[in-house]
A and B are shown apart, each in its own frame.
Chain A
Amino acid sequence: AQKITQTQPGMFVQEKEAVTLDCTYDTSDPSYGLFWYKQPSSGEMIFLIYQGSYDQQNATEGRYSLNFQKARKSANLVISASQLGDSAMYFCAAASAGGGATNKLIFGTGTLLAVQP
């Protein structure tokens, strides 16, 4: 079973600056995936980025990058050049990935990001 910890309930960032959202995880699974989702005030869950536990390189998707430190069990999300539209709740999540079977996503409590002009 996984446990996800997001220690920042809220963050502020100035527009155009970079921001790091913290996430640590605890799992005994040998193979797992780490995910970040964005949830704006509309409530939809928007997939941002994925990191597999055996991936050698940190994942990047446009302005999003995942700072994966396996030994520290951390998977921080970095958003570069923040935009006003980035203001939302951000969730870190994890799922087992063994044997090709699907498995439940377990979520952290989230970080509310506010981008200031």
Chain B
Amino acid sequence: GAGVSQSPSNKVTEKGKDVELRCDPISGHTALYWYRQSLGQGLEFLIYFQGNSAPDKSGLPSDRFSAERTGGSVSTLTIQRTQQEDSAVYLCASSFSTQGDGYTFGSGTRLTVV
């Protein structure tokens, strides 16, 4: 596709349930990133995939959070046993370059835990 696609766009879940968020990056982009943005806050780095290298998981806030990237393309972010503090917009980005407009962001998934 022309851009980074994220689904669902909105997700409401009950506390304690597991959720899966999907990101489909731009074809050919070797790097994929997940960020979390709480209301009125900046973008918090979660995890980064680069080609076949081991992912950089340094931003994951707890072991309830995990992500995988299958075939170097689509990525799924999984949050287990969701808590109310997990409510945020989860943004995915992909890139081909560290320069200029090389990073492209998806429109995000708004997660609400009730």
Residues of A within 8 A of B (CB): 33, 35, 43-45, 47, 50, 52, 91, 93, 95-97, 100-110
Contact = CB atoms under 8 A, between A and B. Distances in A.
Interface of B: 30-31, 33, 35, 41-45, 48, 50, 56, 89, 91, 93, 95-103, 105, 107-108
Contacts of A33: 98-99
A61 B77 CA distance: 35
29 contacts: A33-B98, A33-B99, A35-B103, A44-B107, A45-B91, A45-B93, A45-B105, A47-B101, A50-B100, A95-B98, A97-B99, A101-B50, A101-B98, A102-B30, A102-B95, A102-B96, A103-B31, A103-B50, A104-B33, A104-B45, A105-B45, A105-B93, A105-B103, A107-B42, A107-B43, A107-B44, A109-B42, A110-B41, A110-B42
